[in-house]
Amino acid sequence: MPAARVGRLVEEEAMAGGDLRLRISVRGGRYTLNVSGELDTATAPILEGALSRACSGRASEVAVDLTELDFMDSTGLLAVVRAYKQCKHDGLGFMVAPGTGQPGRLFEACGMFGVAPFLEPARRAAGPSF
């Protein structure tokens, strides 16, 4: 994974099988993952690995931006929920911007809004404010 270091900012670009793209940035104590492409059974382990490293690293909070994600199945949803539980257990902040497309509708259909720290639907329309 190539990484570029600029002051306290670290960015990494990862591609998994052409279906999932992760852009990772670390600024101060915030570890942000911008996820695009498709998050499913084949690609969820890549996201789980990145989230696990984020939650067990030196971050004070983890932000997951799914607004550019085209598709997510229940395996992807589970990866995000597991990361939320791990971060909560470790005393880290955690937030998700699920977007207004199919992934956002999946979170909504599963009743996740109000349970975990997701951006409110009105704020999602304007985009994430990480």
Read off the CATH number of the domain in which 65 is found.
Answer: 3.30.750.24
pLDDT value for 73: 92
Q: Is residue 12 a part of any domain in this protein?
A: no
Q: Report the predicted TM-score, pTM, of the whole model to 2 decimal places.
A: 0.76
Spatial distance between the Cα atoms of 69 and 83, rounded to a whole number of angstroms? 17
pLDDT in tens, 58-96: 789 999 999 999 999 999 999 998 888 888 898 999 999
Counting the structural domains of the chain, the total is 1
Q: How many residues does the chain have?
A: 130
Q: How far is CA 98 from CA 36, 52, 105, 120, in A?
A: 11, 19, 8, 10
128 lies in a domain?
no
In SS3 terms, 97-113 reads as ECCCCHHHHHHHHCCCE
- Using one digit for the tens of pLDDT, what is the confidence trace for 17-56? 558 899 988 888 889 999 999 999 999 999 999 988 888 8
Q: Which domain holds residue 100?
A: 21-123
Indicate whether 1 belongs to any domain.
no
In a domain, 86, yes or no: yes
In a domain, 7, yes or no: no
Does residue 47 lie within any of the structural domains?
yes
pLDDT band for position 117 (cuts 50, 70, 90): low
